[in-house]
Amino acid sequence: MKSRRPIRETTYVAMLSSEDRRRHSHATQAGRVLRFTIQYETLVGDRWLPVVRYDCAHGAAHKDVLDIRGREEKHLLGVSDLREAMAVADADIRQNWERYKNASYRQGDRNDETRDVRTEPATVDRV
């Protein structure tokens, strides 16, 4: 009987600036990407808030752009290969995080406490 290869989980956080970071998580098995999440987060007060998130939840690779109130705007990537989708997501956040941040700031007051999104206390994770 053949044994299945183990699923390998990779998770890290890379700082983009002192108040911006890229959170990366993916799972692979035998070199095949099974799932991924790549998220650009910005520090507001003492909370890390998601601004742009790429993942493959709900059966398709997509990008969620969150506004200042936490509402999500979904954009399908149109890529079926998850390794390719993950590479697109990683490159987009690395190249465009400042543009996403500026657009997020234009959405309204960054100190608005009414935002209803998943947040976590501010801690700096090292890669």
Domain boundaries, the chain: 11-107
User: What are the phi and psi torsion angles at 82 (to 5°)?
Assistant: -70, -30
* pLDDT attached to residue 67: 78
| Tens digits of residue pLDDT in 103-121 | 887 665 444 444 444 444 4
Inform me whether the pLDDT recorded for 123 exceeds 70.
no
| Tens digits of residue pLDDT in 25-83 | 999 999 999 999 999 999 989 999 999 999 999 889 999 999 777 788 999 999 989 99
* pLDDT attached to residue 99: 94
Here the tokens at position 36 are 């991924």
